[in-house]
Amino acid sequence: MSNIRKVTEDIYWLGVNDEGLELFEEFIPIPEGVVYNSYLLVDEKTVLFDTADIRVVDEFLASIKAALDGRTLDYLVVQHMEPDHSCCIQHILETYPDVTIIGNEKTFLLARQFGVEIENESIQEVVDGESMTFGKHTVVFTFAPMVHWPEVMMSFDVTEGVLFSADAFGSFGKLVDGKLFSDEVDYETDWIEPARRYFTNIVGKYGSHVQHLLKKIEAFEVKMILPLHGLIWRENLGYFLDKYDKWSRYEPEEKGVLIVYASMYGNTEKAAQSFSELLKAKGVEQVATYNVSNTDASYLVSETFRLSHVVIACPTYNLGIFPLMHNYFLRLKELNVKNRTIGIIENGSWAPKAGDIIHDYFDKELKEMTVLDDRVTIISAMKEMNDPEIESLIDALVESLQTS
C-alpha cells in the first residue's frame, strides 16, 4: 500500500500502518491495528502537520521525501506531543535542518521534556487563534487543550476548509487496500466500533473539553477532517460530529442493555445468559452480553458508552466483588462515565455482598447513575426461587427503557 495519497490539490496524506503493535499505550489491545497519519501541505512553503511513531520512522521519512519531490521542508506544525506523533521530530530536524517548528508554549515545554533537542531559533510559538499564510493557504491554529493532552492544538486551513484535528475524530484500525476516506468503506460495519473504542478509552474522560472544542469549530466551515489516526472525513461529517457530541455528553447512542458478568464456576454465567434471553423474549432488541474474564475492559467501556442500561452479574469474592469486574468499574470512574441505568445480579454462597458494593459504587463513585432497586440474589446457583426477582428486574429494565 502506498503511504502517500493526495487529499486535496495541495495536501498530501502521509500515513503508515503499524502492523505489529498489539497494545496501544501498552494496555489497550488493538487487533484491528492502527495507522499514524500526518499531512503535508505543498504551497509556496511546505508544511508538515505532525510526525509519527518511532516504530515507522524509516517509512515515514521516505514518504516525506517522496511527497516533497525535491523541495525542502519549511515548517513542521506540532499539534500533539504524545510520542506516537512526535517521536520523529528529532529526525525531521536532522533531515531538514532549516525547518521551523510551529507549536505553542506547552508544545515546546513537552518537546524538551521528552528530550527533543530544539534550538530557540528553530521554533515559532503561536497563540490560540493565530493564523499563518504559507502561500495561497492560510491556516488558523486552534487550541484544544485536554483533547486529550494539554498542548493539543488543531489547524484549520481556511483556504480549503480542512481541519487537521490531531487525535480528535481518530480511530483504531489500520487502512486496508489504501482506503483512506470514510466514504470509501462501510463505516458502520467496519469502523464505528474501533472509532468508539478509541474515543471512549483515549479521550472519553475529557467530555467537557470535547464539547468546548465542538462549539469552537462551529465557527469554521469545515469541509474535511484529517485526524492523526483512522480515516479522513470529507462526506457526511454530521454523522461523526453527532457521535462525538453524544459520546462527549455521555449520552447513550442506543437504548439497550449491556450485560457484563463475572463467573468463577459457570453459575453466574448461566444466570447472565438466561437473563439475556429473557430480556430478548420481552422484546428488548439491543442486548449485548460479555464475560469480564475474556473481554478486555476497553471493549466493555466502549459498549457502556453505546448503550443506555447496564446489568452487572457478579459473584461475591473475598467479601468484595470479582477483581476483573472491579477493574471495569475503575475504568468507568476514571473515564467519567455517567447517565446510565444499572441493574444488579449478585451471587454469593455464604455471604452475598457484591450487590450492596456494586450499588454503592455506582451510587457514590460515579455520577448521574440510576441503580434499580430490583435486585437478583443468587445463592451459589440459580433456582426457581429466583424467578420472581428476575421477572421483577426485567420488568424494571423494560419500563425504564420505555420511559427514559
CA 129/CA 108 separation, integer angstroms? 18
Nearer to ligand FEO, 16 or 394 (CB): 16
- Min. distance of Cβ 295 from ligand FEO in angstroms? 24
Of the candidate residues 8, 30, 38, 80, the single one contacting ligand FEO (CB under 6 A): 80
Size, binding site for ligand FEO by CB under 6 A:
8
- Min. distance of Cβ 102 from ligand FEO in angstroms? 18
Site for ligand FEO in 344-403 (CB under 6 A): none
Helix 297-306 to helix 323-334 angle, to the nearest 10 degrees? 50
Residue 125: all three cell numbers together? 510559538
Return the H-helix or E-strand segment holding 154.
Answer: strand 153-157
Of the candidate residues 43, 157, 167, 193, the single one contacting ligand FEO (CB under 6 A): 167
Nearer to ligand FEO, 302 or 308 (CB): 302
The dihedral built from the CA positions of residue 185, 202, 145 and 96, taken in this order, carries a sign that is: negative
Of the candidate residues 8, 60, 85, 378, the single one contacting ligand FEO (CB under 6 A): 85
Q: Parallel, antiparallel, or unpaired: how do β-strands 341-347 and 370-378 relate?
A: parallel
197 near ligand FEO, rule: CB under 6 A: no
- Min. distance of Cβ 205 from ligand FEO in angstroms? 12
Using H for helix, E for strand and C for coil, what is the string for 38-78? Answer: EEEEECCCEEEECCCCHHHHHHHHHHHHHHHCCCCCCEEEC
- DSSP 8-state class, residue 173: B
84 near ligand FEO, rule: CB under 6 A: yes
Nearer to ligand FEO, 137 or 229 (CB): 229
Nearer to ligand FEO, 229 or 375 (CB): 229
Residue 28: all three cell numbers together? 489497550
82 near ligand FEO, rule: CB under 6 A: yes
CA 176/CA 23 separation, integer angstroms? 20
Which residues on adjacent β-strands are paired with residue 14?
4, 38
Q: Which stretch binds ligand FEO (CB under 6 A): 6-14, 82-90, 274-282, 292-300?
A: 82-90
Site for ligand FEO in 265-284 (CB under 6 A): none
- Min. distance of Cβ 347 from ligand FEO in angstroms? 39
Site for ligand FEO in 134-163 (CB under 6 A): 148
- DSSP 8-state class, residue 233: B
Tell how far CA 110 is from the center of its chain: 22
Q: Which stretch binds ligand FEO (CB under 6 A): 41-49, 81-89, 99-107, 109-117?
A: 81-89
Q: What are phi and psi of 277, to 5 degrees?
A: -65, -40
- Min. distance of Cβ 232 from ligand FEO in angstroms? 15
168 near ligand FEO, rule: CB under 6 A: no
Report the C-alpha dihedral over residues 354, 355, 358, 359, rounded to 10 degrees: -150
Binding characters for ligand FEO, 219-248, by CB under 6 A (x = yes): ---------xx-------------------
- DSSP 8-state class, residue 147: S
Q: Which residues bind ligand FEO (CB under 6 A)?
A: 80, 82, 84-85, 148, 167, 228-229
